[in-house]
A and B are shown apart, each in its own frame.
Chain A
Amino acid sequence: MDDLIVEFLTETNESLQELDTDLITLEQNPNDKNLISKIFRLMHTIKGTCGFLGLPRLETVAHRAENVMGRFRDGNLEVTPEYVSLILESLDRVRFLLGHIEATSTEPEGSDAELIEKLDSVYEGRDAFQSGGTAPPQTEKETPPSSELEMPSFDDVRTLIADQPTEHTTEPAITTPAAVKEQKESKDSTESAIANQSLRVNVDVLENLMTMVSELVLTRNQLMQIARSDKDSGFVTPLQRLNHVVSDLQEGVMKTRMQPIGNAWAKLPRIIRDLSMELGKKIDLVMTGQDTELDRQVLDMIKDPLTHMVRNSGDHGIEPPADRIKAGKPETGTVHLRAYHEGGHIIIEIADDGRGLPLEKIKKKIIQNGLASEEEVARMSPQQIQQYIFHAGFSTADKVTSVSGRGVGMDVVRTNIEKIGGSIEMNSIEGKGSTFSIKIPLTLAIVSSLIVAVGGERFAIPQLAVRELVLVSQKSEHRIEMIKDTPVFRLREKLLPLVSLNDLLKLGNNNALSSGFDHKYIIVTQVGGYSFGLIVDQVFDTEEIVVKPVAKILKDLTLFSGNTILGDGSVIMILDPGGIAKVTGETSMPEDSDATTSSSSALTSETKTSLLLFTAGDDAPKAVPLSIISRLENIELSTIEQSDGQMLVQYRGTLMPLIPFNSSVTLGSEGQKPLLVFADRGKSVGIIVDSIIDIREEVIDIQVSRNKPGLVGSAIISGKATEIIEVMHYLNSVHGDWFKDHGDEPYLQQNAAESVNGKPLPRKILLVDDSPFFRNMLCPVLTVAGYDVVAVESPIKALELSERGDKFDLIISDIEMPEMNGFDFATKVRSSKEWQNTPMVAMTSHSTPEDIDHGYKSGFDRYIAKFDRETLLDTINRTLALGGHQS
């Protein structure tokens, strides 16, 4: 049964039960205003909900009863005992209908015409008691049945044919309260089966439970810490069990707080409906992922922002039907609401296919409001301009409607979302629509935090805001520089503003002059689009902490979001990155809105690639794209095991094969060695190297390419000749089947030099693959071969590029991708204006003849197995030579 109906039944049954006790007093005191109002409200609620749930019969009864109750409530009709029976009768009918809905999840067939007639006559004041006459109720009862017997015949021919009156057909005919009561009694056993399955618990009780579990978790952590130092104690085993039980308990209690996000969406269809009526628009609201669960507290916090944004989409986003037709869009606009999990977060997307954000208007508004000068605006990217809608008092709507346009919207939305540690991103193309995506944490109660120390005090920073950690030493090039008294740091060719936590919190132990910056850590923090670094003395572990609010007398301290008790029992303050950003002068204008997009949209050959530099064997530095490394570890050499001639190590509960980078990497049996861990789709391999030097962001410009296996070539990186490593070679040498699902053939070497020299102008290739690993793998390979590569993670992103007017000479696409597969993508490309002649190569592990056939039909020109480099390059060459798409 529909969750909504279940909830409705539970609620209504509860209200009815409550009324039962009160009803007894109704007989003695028929004009009890309170009680009448109560019944009125109940009927009103039932009426409203039924309309929403599509229960017309119940709705009608409730509606008519509400009318009558309204008259009683307003006092213009006195409640006589006769009317009391009418009220009771209505309630009983509601109960009967509810019972039937509960049992079969549909409304019973039949009609309530007689009851409705009675109610109507009372409402319209033409019943016996009001018109002064003392017409016996029998007359009323006599007339309706005749009309009523006809009703079912229209409704349900079968019942007449069967000639055996069913419960539904007989029931309306004998509508004395007693008869209905009988009916009700027969249903009594099933009546509140649903009500009994769920239990209403006061939220306070749950909150209390949660606090106690949190305490238990902390106590457990303390005990575990003690037990760790005393391994022989008899407590170890029972502690293990306690550990498990507490974890389960914590999970269980957390679950009680989880609610499907659909609850927060329940009223949205109605809002959209009302909106389309009011504004004369046609709007469809499509909702997916209603079952996605999140913490009740979080849910409450996002309810209003969400409503606001959906309203905005309907009001500002979707155009009136006439405009839509003019723009060549379907008359009915769509607002798509989507929720899904993504690594400890919930992503909520609100997308509309409306007019998008009007850039020119925003520009004008920006200048008008004095937020930026004309020149500044001219230099801004569309993305940056769009960000201004998050400014306070910014509305581009020409007129203020009853719905939106007052300009108190998006900034409040953003503040609310950031308050719960979430972030909001927006993407809008004028004329095509806008997409807002909100990223929020699953729960607020327990957060993973980094523990740092500064000025002798410890603080917790929510991990969510932490981007990376940098150790600075004033002697090396990683040093903090000063502009007047403002410390800054060069982080990958960009200046990162720094905040000395010591100064900010006025801990004032040592005056942080530049000499005092030695051996400090920088915590690169990101709040929305604003990045800054926090200077701290020391960084400890990460810890799961239970956030507790600070005492009321300290609520003015905006730099802290709460406090907590650590495993060792000490109290620690939790820093609020958002608060710090505000205090230290966040411009709220993300200069790096392009950074957020660049990470997701393009990885072009001109953009820089983060490279990890390391040494192995000889001194020559070697580099590998950082993005394909999943983790860096230090491995204890004594833990390496051998099996079937293969080095293995137990890693995160599984066996991971290890390879020394080359034979000159010396492996003793003692000590530690750095390990690069590569992982893709559940498999991982570790490569042992001698030392890790640095992380650099550079343009990979292969100067010399070699015929040596495992090497892409050499490039100048930070002024030194560096070998760029072809990781694939190493991975394939361990796992013959490492990339089975990407094609079996091991790659062959190729001489890239020719192709580099042969091309006067690099050809542009668009690579579409959902696996970041492959994107990062193929980019250098294609770049080395002399192509200009743009890699995107989904066809949707690719189509966005098409809309932006980007041109490519060739598109290489994966087939198996979420959201839109390669076939659909090809069809879309072929039907697009911009790209219809661009040749497309499918790259996949699915190469049954049917698939290949399907591929060609969809618009692909070539079909190749994944990661067969030779064939890939060869195919690209040949396809490009042919020119455009051959249809």
Chain B
Amino acid sequence: MSTHPATPAPQHSQNVGSVSSTQKDFLTIDINGQKFGIPILQVQDVLGEIKVTRIPLAPPQVSGSLNLRGRIVTAIDVRKCLGLPTLEENKKHMSVVVIHDDELYSLIIDKVGDVLTLQEKEFEQNPATLDITWKSVSLGVYRLDGEILVILDVPKLLLSLQHPN
């Protein structure tokens, strides 16, 4: 069911993260060509394609629920949360399992990238003109070589589902 993470196991990098407060570790993910980062400590697991049971009447961002080693995980379509078009049918997707409030959520994204250790000095607040939906679920951005990494605020993302506007 779950493919093994293509990236270094999260546990490894934990040590690195605690070395200095000026640098942090992020798991990078790719959604619709944009790179996002999730603080590595929030990541529980990385999954490949997995069977998801639909939950009728649930908010559209909730794709369903799945069985992760005997625990029920609620799957969230991050593309829908960010107001992006759904992934083409034949394209494969992956998910990142995060823990929030003692419950597991699986964030469905396009694909998982590397784990990056980033310096505080590269961090910047959200640009003032950023899309309002994005701004609400983003902690800020890092300037990388040639691209921008948007840091996902996972708790906020999940809370936004709890009280649908």
Q: Which residues of A contact B (CB under 8 A)?
A: 215, 218-219, 457-458, 505-507, 548, 551-554, 557, 559-560, 563-565, 569-573
Surface stretch bound by A, among B16-24, B35-43, B58-66, B134-142: B58-66
Given the interface pairs A572-B53, A573-B56, the reply to whether A552 lies near B72 with Cβ below 8 Å is no
Bound state CA distance, A224 and B164, in angstroms?
42
B161 within 8 A of A: yes
Given the interface pairs A551-B105, A553-B62, the reply to whether A219 lies near B161 with Cβ below 8 Å is no
B116 within 8 A of A: no
B67 within 8 A of A: yes
The reply to whether B56 and A570 contact each other, CB–CB distance below 8 Å, is no
Bound state CA distance, A572 and B54, in angstroms?
9
Bound state CA distance, A569 and B69, in angstroms?
9
B103 within 8 A of A: yes
The reply to whether B62 and A573 contact each other, CB–CB distance below 8 Å, is no
The reply to whether A570 and B62 contact each other, CB–CB distance below 8 Å, is no
- Residues of B with C-beta under 8 A to A565: 67, 70, 72
Looking at A219, A458, A557, the one whose CB has the most chain B CB atoms below 10 A away is A557
Q: How far is the CB of A857 from chain B (nearest CB, A)?
A: 66
The reply to whether B105 and A570 contact each other, CB–CB distance below 8 Å, is no
Query: Range of interface residues on chain B?
Result: 20 to 34
CB-contact partner of A457 in B53, B72, B101, B103, under 8 A: B53
The reply to whether B162 and A457 contact each other, CB–CB distance below 8 Å, is no
Q: How far is the CB of B15 from chain A (nearest CB, A)?
A: 29
The reply to whether B56 and A507 contact each other, CB–CB distance below 8 Å, is yes
B28 within 8 A of A: no
- Residues of A with C-beta under 8 A to B54: 457
The reply to whether A552 and B162 contact each other, CB–CB distance below 8 Å, is yes
The reply to whether A563 and B56 contact each other, CB–CB distance below 8 Å, is no
The reply to whether B70 and A554 contact each other, CB–CB distance below 8 Å, is no
- Residues of A with C-beta under 8 A to B56: 457, 505-507, 559, 573
The reply to whether B57 and A551 contact each other, CB–CB distance below 8 Å, is no
The reply to whether B67 and A570 contact each other, CB–CB distance below 8 Å, is yes
Q: List 18 A-B contacts (CB under 8 A).
A: A219-B70, A505-B57, A507-B56, A548-B72, A551-B103, A553-B62, A553-B74, A553-B158, A554-B55, A554-B58, A557-B55, A557-B58, A565-B70, A569-B67, A571-B64, A571-B67, A572-B53, A573-B55
- In the complex, besides A457-B56, A548-B72, A572-B53, 11 extra interface pairs with C-beta distance below 8 angstroms are A505-B57, A553-B74, A553-B162, A559-B56, A564-B72, A565-B67, A571-B65, A571-B66, A573-B55, A573-B56, A573-B65
Bound state CA distance, A559 and B55, in angstroms?
11
Chain B, residue nearest A554 (CB): B58
Bound state CA distance, A71 and B21, in angstroms?
54
Q: How far is the CB of B57 from chain A (nearest CB, A)?
A: 5
Q: How far is the CB of B73 from chain A (nearest CB, A)?
A: 8
- Residues of A with C-beta under 8 A to B74: 551, 553-554
- Residues of B with C-beta under 8 A to A570: 51, 53, 67
Given the interface pairs A554-B58, A565-B72, the reply to whether A573 lies near B53 with Cβ below 8 Å is yes
Bound state CA distance, A507 and B54, in angstroms?
10
In chain B, positions 63-86 with a C-beta closer than 8 Å to chain A are 64-67, 70, 72, 74
Q: How far is the CB of A294 from chain B (nearest CB, A)?
A: 26
- Residues of A with C-beta under 8 A to B72: 548, 551, 563-565, 571
Chain B, residue nearest A455 (CB): B56
The reply to whether B53 and A571 contact each other, CB–CB distance below 8 Å, is yes
